[in-house]
Copies of this chain bind each other. A is one copy, B any other.
Amino acid sequence: MSYQIAVLSGDGIGPEVMAEARKVLNAVETRFGLDIQYTEFDVGGIAIDNHGCPLPDATLKGCEAADTILFGSVGGPKWENLPPNDQPERGALLPLRGHFELFCNLRPAKLHDGLEHMSPLRSDISARGFDVLCVRELTGGIYFGKPKGRQGEGDDEEAFDTMRYSRREISRIARIAFEAARGRKNKVTSVDKANVLACSVLWRQVVEEVAKDFPDVTLEHIYIDNATMQLLRRPDEFDVMLCSNLFGDILSDEIAMLTGSMGLLSSASMNSTGFGLFEPAGGSAPDIAGQGIANPVAQILSAALMLRHSLKQEEAASAIERAVTKALASGYLTSELLAADKRSEAKSTAQMGDFIAQAI
């Protein structure tokens, strides 16, 4: 099997963790007899520096020609004061999501055995563990709804955004949540604000309809304000959380922080043809870039998600995930996951990549 991957490493720690993901992918190629071709393109801040915009035409064309996108991370202090539309994150990610209609965003987050102390939750709560998959709608809602803009003058000047969802948009993401629940704990919690938003009333209705096709999956509805609260008290009672674009943005970050180990979390953004963008959940971490201490696991797990969801290489994906679990279980950890007095045992970015590649 032969594949074309567009590699968009981006800024900060992006390039260094991407190098480790490539190591691991090389190991997987050999072991499973795959043929993967990589083409690198600039994105984010480095693309602003080199080409004047965060998502140059050549990058977009390169992604179009590829089977899928492996993404690093973008942004940093250098580009922070640009107008919002020109900034690396929003100027690269939103157009990519829109252009390829990557409506389905999967953000898995679990508390790893032995890393409970990293969670900001009270020890009796984190001791129960949790394993949540956030399924976020990514090309609709208030992110892309029209009209959006400004009008009027002086004190009357106003800005407006439109939250908009069609039955079609809601049911396609809902189906994905229910299907995902079947491979997990058979529970979907749909997050909305149906006591205030017309979009949420339709959302709840369509989710109920889709649920009829999944009688084996339990469905619950929860208001977004209550969801942010209950995740703090009983995260172990959630399985799949189904969210609109804005609520998924907020909740998936809350859940990521609850694991306390952002360097381990990856995410998949896909369209209906299987084309996707796979990226770590954390940011470009400019403060630790170039020191060889960044955790490459999130980037490596993004490659696993890419193999599973875009390239349909389930065995190769699982092999990577097993190798990562083995590394963590052997106490093979980068410094941010170690208590201050254990930091001397920390592994470097490259050591992590080597260990995981060898374990394949």
Contacts and interface: CB of A to CB of B under 8 A. Distances in A.
Interface size class of A (residues with CB under 8 A): 35 or more
A89 B226 CA distance: 14
Nearest to A204: B84
A341 interface: no
Contacts of A334: none
A180 B157 CA distance: 26
Nearest to A159: B202
Question: Which of A143, A167, A226, A233 has the most chain B CB atoms closer than 10 A to its own CB?
Answer: A167
B195 A84 contact: yes
Interface string A234-261: 0000000000001001110110111000
Given A229-B254, A229-B256, A142 B197 contact: yes
A213 interface: no
Given A229-B254, A253-B225, A167 B163 contact: no
Contacts of A166: 152, 155-158
User: What number of copies of this chain does the assembly contain?
Assistant: 2
Interface stretch (A120-128, A264-272, A292-300, A308-316): A120-128
A120 B229 CA distance: 10
Interface string A121-145: 1110110000000000000001101
A149 B198 contact: yes
Contacts of A155: 166-168, 171
Contact of A154 (B90, B125, B167, B256): B167
Contacts of A246: 193
A143 B199 CA distance: 12
A157 B163 contact: no
Given A159-B199, A160-B198, A229-B257, 7 more contacts: A120-B122, A122-B123, A160-B164, A161-B199, A193-B246, A228-B250, A250-B250
Query: Which 7 interchain pairs have the tightest Cβ spacing?
Result: A159-B202, A229-B257, A158-B166, A225-B253, A90-B195, A159-B198, A120-B232
